[in-house]
Structure 1
């Protein structure tokens, strides 16, 4: 009887400890979600064109601002007949009110007239470095510096490949 009582006490104690463990456990649930934003995109509207440039026996440069205005240095002048002068213009589209980073070319772009070349360097933009997609769109204008050699040969100079402007969400 004593053994039966000891066994019964052990079983009750075991049930008590297991019951305590079961009541200490709790469970909660959560849902998962994600929002896919509108992909950012960039589309060229207008190519860059430095317009008509007059040269001398001294090297110089033409700085085309993102606003489409030009200034010169060295032996370069701007004739009265401007020709077509335009900064490169792009439209950036994406999620409204998001900001984005702008990456401009970091290496020189070569333009040639078939036999002779010049370089385009020091790309700048408006907005500069970062833009904001108010209502999901923004115009991005890009200017640069045209480096003209002394007595540069006359002719129409163009790039064999376009330059790239990259935009990424911040």
Structure 2
């Protein structure tokens, strides 16, 4: 009889438990998002190397983010410096980290003789950190050819400074 009871158990009880087995399950997932302000940069001061005196040889002037200038192969006049200023911009970033991208180089053209040009490169940036906004100061190196034609050199298109969240 034990064999009969075991057989009936297998035939009726085991399949019945399979009929009541759980075929699916679910869980409630909470979702969240934090919206942050977009990063922003606003220029406040243009980059100006001031007055530079050309020489018989090529040379350059390095304008540091702190506003100091050093001449290599050309001269600068301390008594008549002209307008000297590193570029300055305000970066609004909340409390987020960011990176700064500068161009490789930039060209300035003589307003009276556009065939004459100067090149700017080796950009340097010094941020003055704030809580949710920083002031960045930008310097660079200005290259002059030998006997560079005198005049006012500029480029109205300006160069791009890009800031991006890390």
TM-score by length of 1: 0.82
The answer to whether the aligner puts 1:111 opposite 2:108 as a matched pair is yes
Q: CA deviation at 1:72?
A: 0.5
Map 1:15-164 onto structure 2 (within 5 A). 15-19=16-20, 21-22=21-22, 26-74=25-73, 76-79=74-77, 80-96=79-95, 98-106=96-104, 108-114=105-111, 115=113, 116-127=116-127, 134-164=130-160
Q: Which runs of 5+ in 2 are unaligned?
A: 1-6
Superposition RMSD on alpha carbons, in Å?
2.2
Q: Which runs of 5+ in 1 are unaligned?
A: 1-5
After superposition, the Cα gap between the structure-2 partners of 1:8 and 1:157, relative to the gap in structure 1 and judged at 3 Å, is same
Q: CA deviation at 1:111?
A: 0.6
Whole-angstrom distance in 1 between the partners of 2:32 and 2:119: 50
Whole-angstrom distance in 2 between the partners of 1:109 and 1:27: 60
2:162 match = 166
After superposition, the Cα gap between the structure-2 partners of 1:52 and 1:9, relative to the gap in structure 1 and judged at 3 Å, is closer
Whole-angstrom distance in 1 between the partners of 2:9 and 2:124: 88
- In structure 2, the residue corresponding to 1:61 is in which secondary structure? strand
After superposition, the Cα gap between the structure-2 partners of 1:14 and 1:159, relative to the gap in structure 1 and judged at 3 Å, is same
Whole-angstrom distance in 2 between the partners of 1:138 and 1:119: 28
Whole-angstrom distance in 2 between the partners of 1:117 and 1:13: 92
Which aligned segments of 4 or more residues in structure 1 are displaced greater than 4 angstroms?
A: 6-9
- In structure 2, the residue corresponding to 1:31 is in which secondary structure? coil
TM-score by length of 2: 0.84
